[in-house]
Amino acid sequence: MQQLENRVAVVYGAAGGIGAAIARLFHAEGATVALVDLTEAALAGTLAECRGPAPVSIHAADVSDPVAVERVTDEIAEGHDGIDIVVNSAGILDETPVLEMSPEVWDRTVAVDLTGAFLTARYAVPHLIARGGGRIINVGSQLGIKGGTGLAHYVSAKAGVIGLGKALALELAPHGILVNTIAPGPIETPLIGGLSEEWKADKRAELPIGRFGSPEEVAPTALLLAASPSGDLYTGQTLGPNSGDVMP
Ligand SMILES: NC(=O)c1ccc[n+]([C@@H]2O[C@H](COP(=O)([O-])OP(=O)(O)OC[C@H]3O[C@@H](n4cnc5c(N)ncnc54)[C@H](O)[C@@H]3O)[C@@H](O)[C@H]2O)c1
């Protein structure tokens, strides 16, 4: 028996490193998977890697755009006859010292990394309630717990994602909806490609496990939270596949 048989999962940011790994694992575990990213073309690779028999669909939406997120959510619910699981792994990151950070740079990061988590959950909730419950999983960051230099916008947004997860967990528990945050440490994906070598070397030296993780080492945490009975007692939690960087 596969762990997500008869479940419909939406994965935002499914073209990226962590989102793609989660989508592949969920699909291999029997879930019908709706892949969402900025363009459908970006999802071709992930689509080709989902080789099992369960249905897969691709959709374009910017998670910071309420109209697009509502449209794509309704399109997915209609196409797959409901939604059980929402994973939001869409995100952006750039390193900007606070003295050089324009309000526009701040706003864009908060819009994608925090408001995106709100919108993807917000428009899915009616569909999860219609199913009698479900799971919402946001990919935050351990930097939202410990902070980081040159990352005031990103750290603030990711701390907000953790708070959002707790608030939604309390509010949605009566509907059988469990809401959790994954807060990874540094993971080898294009997202951190733009960070300086100096930042990466300093970061590696801080890690008890001594190396960055891979997306395939994060995806099983999402499966744990999405599946039953493994995820049945988790809500409002922040789980940290983070090489030991943060020990709450
Ligand atoms: N890589 C890391 O070290 C690391 C560590 C902690 C947390 N995270 C978080 O994990 C998540 C996934 O990151 P990743 O490392 O896989 O990065 P990635 O860049 O490989 O993937 C991010 C994906 O999000 C998509 N995306 C960006 N803006 C979007 C928008 N407005 N609407 C829809 N999709 C959008 C991108 O197209 C990309 O496919 C992010 O939220 C990131 O902040 C990453």
Q: Is 38 in the pocket of ligand 1 (CB under 6 A)?
A: yes
Give the DSSP H or E segment for 12: strand 8-12
Phi-psi region of 223 (alpha: psi -120 to 50; beta: other; left: phi over 0): alpha
* Residue 193: predicted pLDDT: 83
What pLDDT score does 133 carry?
A: 98
Bridge partner list, 181? 138, 238
Q: How far is CA 214 from CA 18, 64, 132, 211, in A?
A: 8, 26, 34, 10
154 catalytic? Reply is: yes
Q: How far apart are CA 83 and CA 81, in angstroms?
A: 7
**pLDDT for position 195:** 78
Q: Where are the domains positioned within the chain?
A: 8-239
Show the tokens assigned to 92. Answer: 């952006």
The predicted pLDDT at position 194 comes to 79
Long-range (24+ apart) CB contacts under 8 A made by 226-232 are 226/3, 226/4, 226/7, 226/9, 226/26, 226/31, 226/85, 226/87, 226/135, 226/137, 227/3, 227/4, 227/29, 230/3, 231/135, 231/178, 231/180, 232/178
The reply to whether ligand 1 has any atom less than 6 angstroms from the CB of 134 is: no
Amino acid letter, residue 184: P
Please report the atom of ligand 1 found closest to the CA of residue 93: 43
> In degrees to the nearest 10, what's the CA dihedral of 236, 81, 89, 125?
-40
Number of other CB atoms surrounding residue 105 within 10 Å: 14
pTM: 0.98
Phi, psi torsion values for 220, nearest 5 degrees: -65, -25
Ligand 1 neighbourhood includes 240 CB (under 6 angstroms): no
Residues in the chain predicted with pLDDT less than 70, given as ranges, are none
Query: For a substitution probing ligand 1, which of 109, 191, 196, 200 has the most ligand atoms within 8 Å of its CB?
Result: 191
Q: Residue 103 in 3-state DSSP?
A: helix
Cα–Cα distance measured from residue 81 to residue 92, given in angstroms and rounded to the nearest whole number: 31
- Cα of 1 from ligand 1 centre, angstroms: 31
Q: Does domain 8-239 have CATH number 3.40.50.720?
A: yes
